[in-house]
Structure 1
């Protein structure tokens, strides 16, 4: 479990530090985008008031979104506590929880999730932005799928 808390703290701090650096130090805003490595990596200011890609941004309260994120975090913690996991699953759970809590912190601080990463490729102009916490949430969820164990004995050869 110690690895879970370490990876959660790392994910949280890296997300918040990256947002501070890009928005407050580099000055990315709606009127000041930065092309870092165009078209693959760009910094574009975004305020996500919904879930992924801004879905349900107008119809769901910030408190409902915070509650859902916290319930998911508690659910993951409960699951790994009830079903001991390997190191990679604990690290994955920590990334997911740290990323989710970083986005919760944004909602408490700003009323929305601050996004700034934009990636496009191959002639496709991607209008969506995301943040480092989103990367950790996605990586953690994928890691839990591949490395998590549900506690049931597995049959050999299955």
Structure 2
């Protein structure tokens, strides 16, 4: 079925599955094939390295959860958010919104798999600068985080530039 004729729901579900699959495949490769733990850091550019960082919390390691109860609380919160996103996906009519929501769901699911299987989320891409722009200038992330960010950017795009309403009499 061509992508343009696929239902928004199918587009969103496909994006979610693809994002989670790419995230988990990349994490497996980095940990078990490439062996990043023994090779780090790998400098790619003056501002991007490949490293292994275990994130026990959420973005920027906020709300760290090293204990089982804390991880369960993070997973419960994440599950509620994903359930809300799935509810939204089932009702959305825009393919772009469905794609965006699917990317966020897939990224969240990829990170949840890590939290369940490893007790923390594996991050690999270390974006950094020596410019005096504050502590948020250094960021470690993974493929799931890229999917989540891309989904949010697409949602913002569509909120600022909504598609035109369909013409009257045109199905």
TM range (shorter): 0.7 to 0.9
Q: Where does structure 2 lack aligned partners over 5 or more consecutive residues?
A: 1-8, 166-171
1:73 maps to what in 2? 82
CA contact (8 A) 1:86 1:147 kept: no
1:147 maps to what in 2? 158
Residue 133, structure 1, aligned to residue 141, structure 2: no
Secondary structure of 2:18's aligned partner: helix
**Structure with more helix by fraction:** 2
Q: State the Cα distance separating 1:51 from its structure 2 match.
A: 0.8
Q: Where does structure 1 lack aligned partners over 5 or more consecutive residues?
A: none
Aligned length: 148
Distance 1:80 1:146 in 2: 17
Distance 1:145 1:64 in 2: 28
Deviating beyond 4 angstroms after TM superposition, the runs of 4 or more aligned structure 1 residues are 122-127
Matches within 5 A, 1:1-158: 1-29=9-37, 32-58=39-65, 61-82=70-91, 84-121=92-129, 123=131, 127-147=138-158
Structure whose alpha-carbon radius of gyration is higher: 2
The TM-score with structure 1 as length reference comes to: 0.83
Across the aligned residues of Structure 1 and Structure 2, the Cα RMSD in angstroms comes to: 2.4
